[in-house]
Amino acid sequence: MVIITFSLLSLLLLFINPLPISSLNNGLALTPPMGWSTWNVFRCDYSEVDLMEMADILVSSGMLSAGYKYLNIDDCWEASYRDPISGMLKYNETKFPHGMLALSDYIHSKGLLFGIYSSSGERTCQEYPGSWQHEFLDAALFSSWNIDFLKLDCCYQDNIKDRATAYISWSKALSIQNRSIVFSCDTDELILNENNLEFPFQWAPEYCNMARISWDINDEWKSTLSITDRAANIYYASRPGYWNDLDILTVGLGEQTIEEYTSQFSLWAIMSSPLIAGNDLRKMTKEITNILTNEEIIAINQDKLGRSGNMIRRALDGSYEVWAKPIYYENMSLIYDINNTPRFSPLPFHAVVLLNRLNITANITLEFNDLFDHRLSPHPPTPIWTVSIRDLWLHQDLGRFVETWKAINVPVHGVRMVTVLLLNATNPHR
C-alpha cells in the first residue's frame, strides 16, 4: 500500500463538491453567521436600554468570545409611518430616544456587529411599514446607520413572484452600499405556499447569505425534528457565502430538556446552520451557557471547509439517525492498491452526530464504511478502517476503533457528537 499525502484545501473541495451551485459573492458569511436575536425574548417590547444591556451581557457571558458577534433587532423598532417628505423609514423615538446611529455606535463599541429587520412587503409582520418598492432607499438608510446584518421577512405580499423579486432587488440594493451587510432572507412564507414550485433554496444562494428553509421554529422537540427532516434533503445548497437557515435556536427558552437542547445545537452545528441564539441572556444558566459556548461544537459549525453535514444512515423504524460532516484536515491521504490504482479517496476527518429519536435510551452503532465508503462495486472488497474518535461534549479522546464504534446509552432525544479521524485502511485479504 502506497500513501500519498496532500495538504491542499482545493483538493478536499474537489471530492465533496459535486454540485456546482453558486452562492452570493459579496465576501460575507464565509462561515455560518453567529449572533443573538431579540424576537424570542422581547417580541415588540424592547428599547435601546434593553439592547444595550444585551450587548453588555453578550460580552460578559463569553458569548462574543465564542463567536456570537451579531446583535440583531427584529420587528417593531419602526415608527408607524414613513417620513412624509423623504419617504424614509423612521425609528420609534420613544424606544430609541438617542437614535439608531447612537445605538449602533454603542453596539460596535462592544466589539459586536449590529443587525436590523425589515419586510419585503408593504407592511412588516407586526404591521409596521415594510420595504416594498423602497429597497434602495432603505438600504441606503441602513448603511448610514452602520448596519451589518439585515433580516428580510416576506409578510404582506400575496404574489409569490413579487416576493422573490423583492429579495433580488434587496440583494442588488445592498451590493451598491459602501458597507458590507450580511443578507438574511426569511423566506418561510414562500415555503408554506403549496402552489410555490420553486423553493427558496433553489434561487436564494445567488442573492442571499442565508435563507430559511422551513417554517418558524417552536420550543418543542417535534419542531426541532421537523426542521431537521426538511434540512436533510437540501444540505447540498449550503456553502461559503450561503447557508441554509434552520431558524433561531430555542436553546434555553425553557420548554425542552437539556438533552433536547444539546441535540438541537449539535444538529444545527453539523448542518452548518447560522447559529442565532434567542434565549434570555439575563437568565442564562450555566448548563445553557455550556451548550451555547462549547468551542468544539462551534468549531464544527465554523469549519473552513465550508460544507454542510448530511444524514448518512437512518434506522428503518426511524429510531435513530447518523449525521456526518467532512471537516478540513491538513493532511489528506489518497490510498492506492498494489497496482498503484486509486481504490478510494476518502476525506479522512468527519464530525458525526448520532441522534436518538426514541423516548428511551438507545445504543447506536457507527459503521465507518458509511463515512469512508469508496463507492466501488463489490470488487475490491471494503477495506478495514481504523480510526480515532473524540467526544465533543465530553471533551475526551475515546481511543482507536476498527470498523465500528457503538455509542452506549444515548439519552432520550439525545445525541453523541464526535470527530472521527481515519488512521488506516487495510485490505482484508492481505
Distance (Å) of CA 18 to CA 7, 75, 343? 20, 39, 19
Distance (Å) of CA 31 to CA 169, 178, 300? 24, 22, 10
Q: Which residues contact 165 (CB under 8 A, 6 or more apart)?
A: none
Nearest to 294 by CA among 376, 395, 210, 206: 395
**What does the DSSP assignment read for 373-423?**
-----SSSPPPEEEEEEEETTTTEEEEEEESEEEEEEEPTT-EEEEEEEEE
Nearest to 53 by CA among 113, 107, 101: 107
Cα end-to-end span (Å), the chain: 10
| Helix 135-144 with 160-175: angle, nearest 10 deg | 40
Q: Which residues are catalytic?
A: 153, 216
Give the cell for residue 212: 430559511
Q: Distance between CA 391 and CA 302 in Å, rounded?
A: 18
Give the cell for residue 272: 452548518
